[in-house]
Amino acid sequence: MPDQPTIYFIRHGETDWNRDRRYQGQQDIPLNETGRAQAHRNGQALRAFLPAIAQAEFLASPLGRARESMEIVRREVGLPPAGYTVEPRLIELSYGVWEGVLQDDLRHEAGYAARQEDPFRWRPEQGESYADLFARVSGWAESIARDCVVVAHGGVSRCLRAHMLNLDPERIPELESPQDRVLVLTRGAMRWL
């Protein structure tokens, strides 16, 4: 068992809602063709870590876009598609009543100004704040004991990096989260594939 497990983190591929800049949160929106191509590309990037990667734990968010991305990734590295665990703590940030709203329309939504003032702690009605997500993801990260391949979401990626790299959590909302790259993350270090 390694002292410092490596996390190979993949954000799920694109959905139509991503393309349209519509808040998805915990809505179960399927991948589009671009998203499937991104998942294939990310699986191909992981091939460089064979055979060791085959011994890692594979975990996905419960949402369909993450599970489909994981199954594509596993096929690309020559593993059975269904050989992974669904981890509820890896589900995306809940945007509550904002789910389904276009980002460009948010300026007209209640709470927009408050969000601009404190994007880390602000919580939409019936939703979660980044502070809530950070606590959930940090708890999960502290529980892992071996290398793992994770397919989850942009918010999860941001919070995981803040935790593993000891970043100021206030910076979480501004971190990038591409869908066409694999993040290789250990305690104190990261790189993109």
The answer to whether 61 touches 151, Cβ cutoff 8 Å, is yes
Strands 57-60, 85-86: pairing is parallel
CB 154 within 8 A of CB 9: no
Q: Which of 87, 92, 99, 128 is catalytic?
A: 92
Pick from 141, 153, 148, 149: which is nearest to 177 by CA? 153
Task: Note if 99 is an active site residue.
Answer: no
CA 84 to chain centre: 16
For residues 40 and 122, is the Cβ–Cβ distance under 8 A? no
Catalytic residue status for 153 = no
Which residues are within 8 A (CB) of 117 and not within 5 positions of it... i.e. 6 or more apart? none
Name the catalytic one among 12, 99, 128, 153.
12
Q: What is the CB-side half-sphere exposure of residue 7 using CA atoms within 13 A?
A: 29
Which residues are the active-site residues? Answer: 12, 92
